[in-house]
Amino acid sequence: MSETNVATSWRDRQILILLALAATYFVWGSTYLGIRFALEGFPPFALNAVRFIGGGTLLYAWLRSRGAPVPTPAQWRNAAVSGAILLIGGVGLVTIAEDLGVGSGVAASAIAVMPLWSGMFGQWPVRLEWLGLALGFSGVALLAQEGDFQTTATGTLLVVVAPLFWAFGSVWSVRLNLPRNSMATAAQMLTAGPMFVVLTLVFGESFDAAPSTKAWLSVAYLSLFGSVLAYSAYVFLLRTVRPTLATSYAYANPIVLGLTLGDETITGPAWIALPIILVGLAIVGYAQSARARRRGEERRAAAHSPLPRR
């Protein structure tokens, strides 16, 4: 590959990474509020069953129409296991917490510890990334002083445990034989969705009344934008960049819509916390970008190095 082609490939990859980060930062941040609205008409397990079966079916059908291969039995099995950890242990617990009264802001803030948990599972951040993570976490701690961040003991426990499932599932799934690209996302949603149906039946969930238009629109938003777009972007990041950067969305999410919409307001400590969080994100992004540049330079140097003589 020529030096021009290598540079172009590196640029294209960086653009895709930036677009994926934007999706996880802004779209995923809004899903906490979307869950809150959807819960006005759906019980938590039923909500996620509709969300993931609907989103997974749409994504799978679109990928197959574009020629993506059907996952192998082993890939379906791996998708089911990783999907259960990520979508039931992660998303499912957060949904229950919000159903118990946890505000979308406190849910997004609690999830912000997730980049730290990823270090527990073999993907320890480097020194500069630690600085960014520490700043981000301190900003979230300040943000938690907001008046909306009051919740029940059970809800608090759930939003503390959920990031552990998400971090473990994120790091472990990279090592599994999963379908390529977005087909992994579709397979995980299509296998986790029926599990939520089983949980709905086991826990005897029922509808007090027919879901409102607002609730249905929220579920549609969660399926299309939260699951298909943002979750696919997250899976791409997991397989492209270090987990420290892939999970950095957790620091941005409390800023996005969880605090700026609904009944939640930005006052007091938030004006100090938000700049701190943004600085932390910038440091993590800079550390990742510097590492990517070094790898690119090493590849270009290797491509131009003379072959050793025999």
- Residue 245 binned pLDDT confidence (cut-offs 50, 70, 90): confident
Give the residue, 82 or 240, on which the prediction is more confident: 82
CB 111 within 8 Å of CB 60 = no
Mean pLDDT of the chain: 79
- Residue 154 binned pLDDT confidence (cut-offs 50, 70, 90): confident
Q: State mean pLDDT over 255-266.
A: 53
Determine, yes or no, domain membership for 258.
no
> How many independent structural domains does the chain possess?
1
Checking if the pLDDT of 64 tops 80, the result is yes
Model pLDDT, residue 158: 86
130, burial (CB in 10 Å: exposed 0-12, middle 13-18, buried 19+): middle
Model pLDDT, residue 266: 53
Residue with tokens 């379906």: 76
Residue range(s) defining the domain that contains residue 115: 43-129+147-239
The two three-digit tokens of residue 90, written as one number:
């992660």
Q: CA torsion, points 70, 71, 77, 81, in degrees to nearest 10?
A: -110
CB 219 within 8 Å of CB 51 = yes
pLDDT tens for 88-128 read: 998 999 999 889 887 766 666 666 666 656 555 555 667 78
Determine, yes or no, domain membership for 177.
yes
Determine, yes or no, domain membership for 157.
yes
Give the residue, 166 or 277, on which the prediction is more confident: 166
Determine, yes or no, domain membership for 247.
no
Rounded to the nearest 10 degrees, the angle between the axes of helix 182-202 and helix 44-65 is 150
pLDDT tens for 194-209 read: 999 999 999 999 887 8
What angle (nearest 5°) sits at the alpha carbon of residue 219, between those of residues 80 and 223? 45
- Residue 55 binned pLDDT confidence (cut-offs 50, 70, 90): very high
Determine, yes or no, domain membership for 21.
no
Determine, yes or no, domain membership for 269.
no
Determine, yes or no, domain membership for 178.
yes
CA dist 37 → 44, 157, 193, 246 (Å): 11, 22, 20, 27
Model pLDDT, residue 251: 67
Checking if the pLDDT of 12 tops 70, the result is yes
Model pLDDT, residue 119: 53
CA-nearest of 204, 262, 229 to 40 is 262
pLDDT tens for 17-41 read: 888 888 888 888 788 888 989 999 9
Model pLDDT, residue 310: 46
Percent residues over pLDDT 70 in the chain: 69
The two three-digit tokens of residue 143, written as one number:
């943000």
Determine, yes or no, domain membership for 196.
yes
The two three-digit tokens of residue 204, written as one number:
């005897």
Give the residue, 243 or 241, on which the prediction is more confident: 241
